[in-house]
Amino acid sequence: MRVAIYDTTLRDGTQGENVNFSVDDKLRIARRLDELGIDYIEGGWPGSNPRDRDFFAAAKSLKLTHAKMAAFGSTRHAKNKVEEDENVRQLLESETPVVTIFGKSWNLHTERALRVTEQQNLEMIGSTVGYLKANGREVIYDAEHFFDGYKGSREFALRTLEAAQQAGADALVLCDTNGGTLPGELAEIVADVRKHFGGILGIHTHNDSEVAVANAIAAVELGCSQVQGTINGYGERCGNSNLVSIIANLELKLGHTCVGPDKLKQLTKLANFVADTANLEVANGAAFVGKSAFAHKGGIHVSAVLRDASTYEHCEPEAVGNKRRVLVSDLSGRANIVFKLEEKGWAEKLDPEARKNLLERIKEMENEGYELEAAEGSFELLVREALLPDHFLFDLEKMSVVTEKKGMDRTSHKVEMVVKTREGQRWAEETSEGGPFDAMARALRKCLSEVYPQALDVTLTDYKVRVLDAYKGTAAKVRVLVTWKDGAETWTTVGVSDDVLEASWKALVDSLKLELLRLRDAQAEQAKAETVA
């Protein structure tokens, strides 16, 4: 079955806590949704705020190749004639080919919130749908709180759908607005509605009971051919149904067509793009598209996956644009190490004994509090050092850190450092008001710059500190993760100590050593290629 996907990230998604999009953000997201093959893009509610009105004005110049843009709003106000209702007028002025309006399906709302009679409510629905259809719009009717309304008064809820359909609505969408309906009862209600209504039925679920995706899939199985939701499940309270998971499940598990197998491979990139635009991160454990969705840690799991990935994977990661990852930790077996070595092209460079020693070293480090699964740069450094046991880059000979605080002035930190390189001793002094780690990092890079000028080309992008054994109070160990980037790559290294500066120093040193070893290998490969040429 062809299932139409209706995206409301730009409207319902922005009602989620910490989700904010500018007009430009919304335009960029709309383009990407269109590229994926989304059928409907709900751009916002022009009657609710200036930003959405500005978006629809700007969206008129969007050249969408597949999606239809929809404006969202409510039925007319009870006291207004439909042609004089300001909200309805702004929906038409948005000039979108599709208009989605919501109306009340729950008598609790009509009686207590709107304070109108059932007949007035039906007239509000019918007149608004009819007027929009008369003005040439495709009209989608969202039956707000439909499932709660059905449970309160089945006859009342069904009559509201009938009013919309008789007025010409192109689709009737059943909304679990409060997110409290469970899959079993939702299925029974959808099945009953389908008995009474032909045409296009849609489903719009919220995640307050953690079953929004399951509810949406259940509704499709019972004949709903339009699904509404948001990318990454963004939305008010606990969020909307997650279109990422819905699309993947419908395509890969149930054989329905939403965007098609080729576009499905863009799913992970889209999820991350929308998250980045919202200044958020896709959860590691997000189904299908999270970093951990196809990550394997236990040695037994990894060993099986290397033989046949289907032993511990429910689908191929490439189908949704993700990739398999094998983590290295104290739970690792030899298969983990083999996988990581093959991933880096080093499988033939370490013999079995060296691999065994590497695994034992990793388990020792994890026992001390290191976390290599989050610091693949540290793992890579361990391998490179195993391959070059006699290498020498630099050593610290002496360092002093002086912290000074005067009155209400900012604390300053002065670092003096002496580093031994293959060319002899190097000395540097740095002062920072941004923190002692900043001063240490700048001093070390200055010491190295004469021998290794590339040390100045790396940039710190992230610095995290986590307390490991908080019950020890100020004597607790801390784990420091630092992430750096150069022109081509990003890498993370880790340090652990009961002294935060010592842990930071260890992570810093490993980061720079890894970069220098990478550069040395690259230069050696280039020299080899030039010799052959």
Residue 13: pLDDT over 60: yes
Portions of the chain given CATH number 3.20.20.70: 4-259
What is the model's pLDDT at position 503?
93
For 108-139, the pLDDT digits (tens) are 878 777 788 889 999 999 999 999 999 999 99
Alpha carbons within 13 angstroms on the beta-carbon side of residue 318 total 1
Q: Enter the tokens of residue 174.
A: 């059943």
Residue 47: pLDDT over 60: yes
For 353-403, the pLDDT digits (tens) are 877 777 777 777 777 777 665 677 888 888 888 878 788 899 999 999 998
What is the model's pLDDT at position 331?
47
For 124-183, the pLDDT digits (tens) are 999 999 999 999 999 999 999 999 999 999 999 999 999 999 999 999 999 999 999 999
384 alpha carbon, distance to own chain's centre: 32
For 218-238, the pLDDT digits (tens) are 999 999 999 999 999 999 999
Residue 445: pLDDT over 50: yes
What is the model's pLDDT at position 330?
44
For 294-339, the pLDDT digits (tens) are 877 666 665 666 667 677 779 999 999 998 766 554 445 555 666 6
Please name the CATH architecture into which domain 4-259 falls: Alpha-Beta Barrel (3.20)
Portions of the chain given CATH number 3.30.160.270: 394-532
Q: Enter the tokens of residue 29.
A: 């997201």
Contacts of 69 (CB under 8 A, 6+ apart): 30, 40, 41, 43, 56, 59, 62, 96, 97, 98
Give the span between the Cα atoms of 26 and 491, in whole angstroms. Answer: 31
State pTM to two decimals. 0.71
Rounded mean pLDDT, 250-264: 97
CATH superfamily of 394-532: Alpha-isopropylmalate synthase LeuA, regulatory domain (3.30.160.270)
Instruction: Compute the mean pLDDT over every residue in the chain, rounded to the nearest whole number.
Output: 89
What is the model's pLDDT at position 473?
81
Q: What is the dihedral of CA 345, 350, 352, 356, to 10 degrees?
A: -100
